[in-house]
Each structure stands twice: as structure tokens, then as C-alpha cells.
Amino acid sequence: MTEETRTIGILLSNPADRRLLTDFVTEMGYLTHSPSLQETNPDKWAELDMIIADETGARRHREALLNWKTRSETIFRPLLILLPFGASSDPWLMDGFDDVLRVPLTGADLRARLEMFLRLQAQSRELARRSEMMFHTLVEQSPVGIYMLGTEGFLHVNQAMADMFGYRPDEIVGRLGPLDLVHPDDRQLVREILQQRLSGGEAPPLRIGFRGRRQDGETIHCELFTTGIEYQGRPVALSILVDTTERVRAEQARTRQKAGDSMVARIYQALVQGEELEPALEAALQAVVDILGDDVLGVYLLDKAGECLLRRGSPLPDELARRIEELVGLDVRRISIPLPEDSHFQQVLVERRTLLLNEPDDLAALFNNTANIIPPALHENLPPLTRLLARRYRSVLIAPLVSSERVVGLIDLYSPLRLEEQDRLWFERLAAQIGIAIEHARTRKREQRLQECLSLVWEIGQRARAILDVDLLLQETVRAVQTGFDYHDILVALVDDEAGELVSAAEAGTYTELPWQRKPLDPERGIVDWVALHGETMLVNDVRREPRYIKVWPETQAELCVPIKRGDRVLGVLNVESARPDAFDQIDATAMETLADHLAAAIENARLYEQAQREIAARTRAEQKLRQANQIIENSPVVLFRWRAEEGWPVELVSENVIQFGYTPAEFLSGETPYISVIYPEDRERVGQEVQECSASGGDSFERKYRIITKDGRVRWIDDRTVIERDAEGRITHYQGIVIDITERVQAEEELRKLSQAVEQSANTVIITDLEGNIEYVNPKFEETTGYTAAEALGQNPRILKSGEHPESFYRQLWETITSGREWRGEFCNRRKDGTLYW
């Protein structure tokens, strides 16, 4: 049967899978026999060269399949089982199946398998007809590795076997042991298999997978088909070795893709739910490494200046970390990496795109960048470090970490496998999730810090509001800020608007040595002055780059100044400084602005309190004087009145001492007793006329005298002195004034008038002097008798009438009697103006 007429039986339960596999095989140029399981007839299998069955078909026709396979002792009949990924193949291989095909199939994999087994089948036919020399020829021509192994080592290897490991056949036979071609981690497994095959006992054919190591150190994946046979009277192992590296890598890529998707979701949950970024990040990255195996994952976050990357990554394998640290002299688990402009890291950060490095030259350039972090004294160790990394890793992925539209760092993956584009996809998703997690963690941290700051600010603000002395509240606030916020240098300065000056009110730290207490506000010099004049916050994290900064303290690196405002008016400033660059952020600014608002309210409250205290003191003094005045008024005949400018002059206010007229204040205030009703009836018309005339004349006040009737019916004279009150439009609204009882004065004036009239009409001379004897009054009879006129006599002493007829003792006795308040009676001789005497 020629190769073109090879027929392959397909025994699958799923019609779709059966059609797909039939199409694959037909396209490869083979004939097919693919009935449904119900239509399958084992009697028609005699002409089949190979059978591929799935689990259902294999179980249903197991006995018939195994009988078909072993029907010929010389012809190899391949029997393959089709299994899904993850399903165990051992039961089937131990049962007698030759190989396993995994779903989903690829054309290349299927073609290689079919060609290999059909070629082996052809070889088995040839081996049945040819001699041992022909057998060796077939082995040499085989596309798969074939070798014969005895207890002393390799007896024969074909060219394909030697090519697979990068040797010539003569470099293997007689020189290398079988374990020399095996990866160290798989040598124990292979050793046990060889011991079983070379022990001479019966052992069924075996198929295993293991990792081999090429001469250049590269790891490859192999599948071994081995059986023990007798050769020249001794047990040997005859084996077929297939290089499955590409298939394994494809499977690993698919596995990594699925694992990556699952891993990204798990890592995201771990990161988002973590309270602190650092522990959550390290735990998450360690989980990635646990899934990926030998890969090394690192996360690097930019420092505040954006000039260095700080490693926050998963731990390296102990052996690798120790060796690298020996070469570079640094702890590579937590390291600061500068960013030269031509570095791969800088390229990722600037261009915001993922780099996948697979080519040796690209990897060498990346590894050589290690010179940026190695101390110069250890630069001689760079070549061995580069070789170490090149031997271990075949691919590197580097992706940017983006948080809130801003690049905050990067993530890299060093893998001993060759990574492909599908690895880039899940890696970018992982980077995106880590970026989101970083933002969440930083947001939580900012929110927590902001909440703590605002809580502290609220506490400080409440204490400040409770202090009603401005100087004390500011000093207490500065001390509380210094303690609570760990700010060292703090100043609160108040603005003196009238003087245009800034006044230091409270200080902490080096500000206690401030060289000025008051200074003029200068808009051109100083952050504090600028904030005081503009009423806007200024945050400067590098004072060297701020032209408005004035150097006061040499150690200052950063400054934050906020205005203390009440509405649009700037009351002062709150200024804090730090010896660390980048010491402040927006949270500090928000906290200090909030505190400044509390301070503004507290200062305003304290000033209002001080003003209120002054007003209260002034009011207390005024009230005391008013009480004294009221006491004087209440104990005086002066009665206060306030009348509305309406008919009857209703009373709105009256002092208590109105009771002297027999009325209570309530009788007037209630309207029970209109004021007009107490005016003596004969005076009412006159009083009304006088009020009307004065009001119409535009005057502000007037005086009038009239009589009132007391409650007990007595008539009293009063002196009414009234002020007129007008509104903004000039209309009279009220009359306000005092009423004085002048009844006794009026009566005295009447008596005096009568007495004066009697003196004026008296037939006797009347002289009135003061205590000094100066004449104050003379009546007409005096003028008539003495010849002196009143004008001539006033101010003179009665001595002008002295006649000289009496001794001095006479006059002295007269004067002493009068000045003592007693009455003197007698006769004496006086002299007239013309010199004549009279008695």
C-alpha cells in the first residue's frame, strides 16, 4: 500500500469532531474511514493503517481495537486516543494505545503525528524484510530521535537525536551518559525509568515526557517512547525521542493565557481589597510567580520627582538573588533605579506602550542597562551579570502602570520561555489592574489621611473657637498644629489694614527667632506678603524654583502659605515650612485652608467678644449713669413725657414720678387718661394753639407754662419744655420733653410781685444790700429822700449817706446786728446828695 493510499479510521462519537478530523486528514492526502459509532463494523478494519478514537469510541470498541492493533506481529499499527486537555492519558497508554492527541487539534501537530506513526509503520514493514543494517539505515533516516541504550551508556543514537541536543552522534556515544542530556530537575524520573528498562525483567512499553538540556544550555521538551528488548543477548532500551518543545510551548502559552485571565481577576481582587498597597502588592505578585513558575515579576513606582524607579516587586529566586547581589552589591528586592533618557524603562514610561523583548540583542541591551544601578567600583562585574541573565531568561515584558491618566511606574516580567503576543495581552491587563489598584490604594490612603487631617483640624478649630483672647487662641493653635501635623516652622501673621503692615501674632520652631514683629506689606517680595495681599494659597515644594521666595531660614526646602479670610477680607496668613523638599501636597493645603477658616471665625469671634466686652462695659457705665439719672429724676419734680403727635397727645412714655400728680404711669400709657384731659380747661385752647404754631413754624422745640388738674382735683402750674421729633420726610411723629411743677415758684413770684408793689409804693425809704454791704435795690422813696437816683445808688455802700453825727461804734453795732440776721430798730441822721441832713 503506497503512502498516497494510506487509510485512517476515525472513530469519534461527536459528528462535528468526526467531520472536522475527517476534513483535516483528507486535506493531508489520506483516505478515511469514518462511520458513526452505531454503523461501525470492526470486520472492515483489516485494511486500515491507523485508527484514531475518542474516549466513547474507545470504550465501546476497546477489545476490537486492541485485537486490530496486535493482529500482526511484524507490522506496527498505530492506535491513537483523542483526549481533551487536562484528561489523564496514562490509563490509555498502559492499556496499549500508542499516543494521545489533544483537543483542540492543530494541522501542524496532526500532520507531524500522522507522518511519524505512518513512517514508523512503514519502517516496521521494512524492518520485517531487511537485515539489521537496513534497520540502522531506517533509524538514521528517521525524522525523530532514536537511540539504543545499555547499562554502559548510549550504544547508538541517530542523527535526528544528535541534532535535537546540538551534538554530533560521536560526541554522545561513549562519552555522555543518558542523564547528561536531561534537565537536572527531571533526572530522578529518567533514572528510575532506565533502571526498569535495563533490569532485564518484563516491562511494558512506556511513554513519558521530560525536559532535556541542549549543549548550549537551552532547555527543550521531549516525549520518550521506550521499551526493553534483548540485543545481542543483553537487555537494552530501544527508545524514540520526539522534540515537543514547540508543542509544549504552545500548550504553555494557552495555559498561561487561561491562567493569566484567571490570575488577573484574582490579583485585582487581592489588590483592591488590600488595606495597604505594599503588602497587597507583594502578596499579589508572589501569587503571579507561583502561577508562572520560573518567571520573575517586578513592579517599579516612580518617585515624587519622576527621576527614579523604586522596586516594589516579588522576591527573586534565592539562588539568583544571591548571585546578583554578589555581583552588583545591592539588595535587588528593593532598589532605586535612575532613568537615563535612552533606557528601555524611559521608553515605556514616555511612550506608554508595552515592550516585548525576545531577540538576543534587545535582551543584551536591556541587561547592560544594569550599569546604571551598579556602583562604579563593581562595573567589572557587568559582563558576568549579563551572561547570567541571558542564560536564564529568553523574554522580557515591560508595561507602563497608569493611574488617573498618569504614568506612575512600570511592571516587568523576566521569563525563561519565549513569550508571544498573547502573553503581551494578559500582561497589559495585569498592568492595567495593578494601575487601578494603585490608584485605589492611594485614593484610600489620601482619603484616610485627609479625614485624619480634617478631624485634627476640626479638633484644633473647636478649641480655638472656645478661646476668646486673640493672642492666646493663635498661640495655642500654632502649638497644636506643630504637635498634630509634625510641622516644625509655623507662623501666624495678622494684617493691619490701617498701617498696611503684617504683624507676627504666633510662632513655632525657628519662627520664634523671627527678626521682625511688624513689617510693611511688600507685593514684590515674599510668599507670605503675596498671600496676604492676594488672598490665595501658595504651595511651593522647591523654594529654589520660586522667585517670590525670600530666604529667611537656610534649611527651608518647602513652604505652604494659606490666607486667613473672612469673606473677601484677608485677616492674616498661616504659613508652614519644612526642611524636606516635596513635603506638602494638596491634602496639607486643604487641611491648612480649613484650619484657616476656623481661625478666621475664631479671630472674628474673639474680636467681637472683645468689642462686646467693651460695649458691655460702656453700656454698664451708661446704664449706671442712667440709673443715677433716673434716681435723680424720680426724686425730682421733673417728669419725663413722650407723646405721639396725634389728637389728645397719647402718652408713650412717662417717668414713675408722675405719681406726684396723683396719676400712675399705667393710666397714661394705657390711654385711660389722655394727656389733654389733665390740662386745665381754660388753658387747653391756648396750649393747643401754641403747639400748633410752633410745629408749623418748623421749630425744633418750645416752652410753655400751663395749669393741670391733679387726680385729687388740685390745680398745679407746670413748665413744659418739649422737643419736636420728625421722620425722614419731615412729618412730626412725636413730642418729647419734661414737665416741672412750678406751682410754688408761680406762687412765690406772685407774692414777690405783691411785695415789690408794696415796697415800690411804700412811704418809707427801702434799701437792700448784699452781705458785703453793696446796695442792690432802692425804692422810689429813697430817691426822693436822698436825692440819689437808683442808678447812682446801686453798687454803692450805704456809707454814702453817712452824716458824721454818730460814732463808729454806732455803725458797727448796727451792721453786726443786721449781718447776724436780727432786726435793728432806731433813729440816726443821714446826709442827702446835696449835703443836707435828715433824720
Mean pLDDT of 219-227: 87
Euclidean distance between CA atoms 651 and 734, whole angstroms: 10
CB count in 10 Å sphere of residue 299: 22
In the Cβ-directed half-sphere of 72, how many Cα atoms lie within 13 Å?
14
| Grid cell at residue 44 | 472492515
Q: Which three cell numbers stand for residue 143?
A: 525524522
The domains of the chain, with CATH numbers, are 1-129 (3.40.50.2300), 130-243 (3.30.450.20), 250-438 (3.30.450.40), 467-610 (3.30.450.40), 636-747 (3.30.450.20), 763-838 (3.30.450.20)
Beta bridge mates, 296: 414
- Would you call 728 helix, strand, or coil by DSSP? coil
12-16, 194-198, 355-359, 659-663: least confident range: 194-198
User: In this predicted structure, what is the pLDDT of residue 666?
Assistant: 92
Mean pLDDT of 642-660: 89
Does the pLDDT of residue 150 top 70, yes or no?
yes
Residue 663 has pLDDT above 70, yes or no: yes
Of 242-251, 310-319, 428-437, 731-740, the range with the lowest mean pLDDT is 310-319
| C-alpha distances out from residue 508 to 281, 551, 606, Å | 40, 17, 22
More confident residue, 332 or 464: 464
Mean pLDDT confidence for 147-168: 89
More confident residue, 707 or 811: 707
Mean pLDDT of all residues belonging to the chain: 81
User: What confidence tens digit (pLDDT) does each residue in 40-70 have?
Assistant: 888 888 889 899 999 999 999 999 999 888 8
pLDDT at 339 over 90: no
Measure the CA angle with vertex 725, ends 720 and 730; round to 5°. 140
pLDDT tens per residue, range 76-127: 889 999 998 888 888 898 888 988 988 888 878 888 888 888 888 887 776 6
Residues in the chain: 839
CA dist 9 and 18 (Å) reads 11
pLDDT, position 715: 92
Task: State the Cα–Cα distance between residues 595 and 601, nearest whole angstrom.
Answer: 10
Q: For residues 69 and 572, what is the distance between their CA atoms, to the nearest angstrom?
A: 100
Range ranked top by mean pLDDT from 445-449, 461-465, 614-618: 614-618
Predicted pLDDT of residue 414 = 84
Give the whole-angstrom CA distance, residue 324 versus residue 122: 53
Cα–Cα distances in angstroms (integers) from residue 186 to residues 149, 175, 177, in the given order? 18, 21, 14
> Would you state the pLDDT for residue 294?
60
Asked if 61 and 11 touch (Cβ cutoff 8 Å), the reply is yes
Asked if pLDDT for residue 681 goes beyond 90, the answer is: yes
User: How does pLDDT run across 352-408, given as a tens digit for each residue?
Assistant: 899 998 888 888 777 776 656 566 656 666 677 777 777 778 888 999 988 878 888
Q: Which residue's C-alpha cell is 495597604? A: 276
